[in-house]
Amino acid sequence: MYIITLKNNKSFICDKNETIFDAAKKNNIYLEHSCLKARCSACKVKVLDGQTIQIEDDLILTDSERKEGYILSCNTKALSDISLDIEDLGDIELYESKVVPTKINKIEQLTKDVIKVILRLPPTANFQFNAGQYINLIKGTTKRSYSIAEILNDKSLVFYIKNYKGGEMSQYWFNEAKPNDLLRMEGPLGSFFYRPKEIIKELIFLGTGTGIAPINAILQYFDKNPELIQNKSVNVYFGARHEEDLFWSNSFNTIDITFTPVLSKPQGNWPGEKGYVQNSLLQDISNLKEAQVFACGSDQMIQDAKVLLLENGLEESNFYADAFICTN
């Protein structure tokens, strides 16, 4: 048994046969995470002292990161007492993940390769989540992850789903799915959600493609609780390739949002921002010392945005990300 200590002096016991993340969770301490399969970098953390061993080879950490002591907490066991350069999620309540049945209520085409799916849950499901989290949808033996984009007044859940060529679930969603189809839903999952900090003045959201889904959920949460962002500015950058791919727009009533659509491959006389969301952000907001950035979309965007924004003054502890990992 080893003692794991966080930089806010919280500690927990870790058995030699369990991952650092699982040991923390068992002790009601929650660390940053998302896929928990060593396929994203959400649970990346630096080891300040002590010895660890990874369980499986991963393609996430670079050689330089490994040399600097970084690990994935979901894929690493302790070999001694260790100290981690991370804090837990604090007092934010995390709801227990569970599996419940769900039925398709409606499917709406948003673009040529993105649909909006509304799922209804049983009245007894009592499903609760933190805005920004995701769920796994299960059809037979196939399981795929989707971020919750919105919760409707009747407690139905909204998702934005992209068509991936050759994808098993894409084949279902875009060629077979119909209202009243029965699926199973596992969740809530992940730690991509708002973290209130008094010193923060700028809330910045970077979303590409269907990565705008969890951002929409967080904005809906603000719309219902505008006091949470009093005296803070809210900036949303939505990136897509072409203008016809911009399926999202600002439709909130009680909060003031500065919305900037950005096209990486504009056609014709596009009058708006061109390039990548992180570059557009830096053109607009030069001081990132009092900013929080929430980024969701492709893993490449997440990595590029983090490097660029940290180089320009953003505190690493104020960068939150949820990378979409494509699975066939």
**Partners of 2 in beta bridges:** 14
Tokens for 255, please give them.
């909060």
Residue closest to 135 by CA, chosen among 177, 101, 110: 101
In a domain, residue 89? The reply is no
In a domain, residue 194? The reply is no
Tokens for 230, please give them.
């009093």
- What's the confidence (pLDDT) of residue 325? 62
Name the pTM for this structure: 0.88
Same domain, 63 and 136: no
Same domain, 56 and 143: no
Question: Distance between CA atoms of 141 and 143, rounded to whole angstroms?
Answer: 7
Same domain, 242 and 185: no
The whole-angstrom distance between residue 231's C-alpha and the CA centroid of its chain comes to: 25
Question: Distance between CA atoms of 178 and 172, rounded to whole angstroms?
Answer: 9
Mean pLDDT of 4-17: 93
Same domain, 214 and 315: yes
Q: Directed axis angle between helix 299-311 and helix 277-284, to 10°?
A: 30
Same domain, 208 and 168: no
- Report the CATH number that the domain containing residue 116 is assigned in CATH: 2.40.30.10
Q: pLDDT for 165-215, tens place per residue?
A: 999 999 999 999 999 999 999 999 999 999 999 899 999 999 999 999 999
- What's the confidence (pLDDT) of residue 262? 97
Same domain, 106 and 18: no
Same domain, 77 and 112: no
Tokens for 135, please give them.
């769920």
Same domain, 207 and 316: yes
Residue where one domain finishes, among candidates 189, 212, 232: 189
In a domain, residue 92? The reply is no
Other beta carbons within 10 Å of 291: 22
Q: pLDDT for 249-307, tens place per residue?
A: 998 888 999 999 999 999 889 999 999 999 999 999 989 999 999 999 988 899 899 99
- What's the confidence (pLDDT) of residue 87? 87
Query: Domain total for the chain?
Result: 3
Question: Distance between CA atoms of 300 and 273, rounded to whole angstroms?
Answer: 20
Q: Quick one: pLDDT band at residue 79, thresholds 50, 70, 90?
A: very high
Same domain, 135 and 178: yes
- What's the confidence (pLDDT) of residue 327? 55
Residue closest to 21 by CA, chosen among 8, 4, 7: 4
- Report the CATH number that the domain containing residue 292 is assigned in CATH: 3.40.50.80
Kindly report the backbone phi and psi dihedral angles of residue 94, in degrees, each rounded to the nearest multiple of 5, phi listed first: -105, 125
Same domain, 11 and 74: yes
Kindly report the backbone phi and psi dihedral angles of residue 230, in degrees, each rounded to the nearest multiple of 5, phi listed first: -60, 135
Q: What is the dihedral of CA 195, 197, 203, 206, to 10 degrees?
A: -30
In a domain, residue 90? The reply is no
Q: pLDDT for 18-55, tens place per residue?
A: 999 999 989 989 898 888 888 888 889 999 999 999 99
- On whether the CB atoms of residues 24 and 31 are closer than 8 A, the answer is yes
Task: Return the percentage of the chain with pLDDT > 90, whole number.
Answer: 79
In a domain, residue 195? The reply is no
- Give 160: exposed, middle or buried? Use CB within 10 Å, 0-12, 13-18, 19+: buried
Q: Mean pLDDT across the chain, nearest whole number? A: 93
- What's the confidence (pLDDT) of residue 326? 56
Q: Which domain holds residue 220?
A: 202-324
Q: Is the pLDDT of residue 81 over 90?
A: yes
In a domain, residue 274? The reply is yes
In a domain, residue 103? The reply is yes
Residue where one domain finishes, among candidates 130, 157, 189: 189
Task: Return the percentage of the chain with pLDDT > 70, whole number.
Answer: 98
In a domain, residue 247? The reply is yes
Same domain, 214 and 319: yes
Residue where one domain finishes, among candidates 145, 160, 189: 189
Question: Distance between CA atoms of 277 and 263, rounded to whole angstroms?
Answer: 8
315 residue type, one letter: E
Q: Average the pLDDT over each of 52-56, 91-95, 127-131 and give the range with the smallest value.
A: 91-95
Same domain, 206 and 319: yes
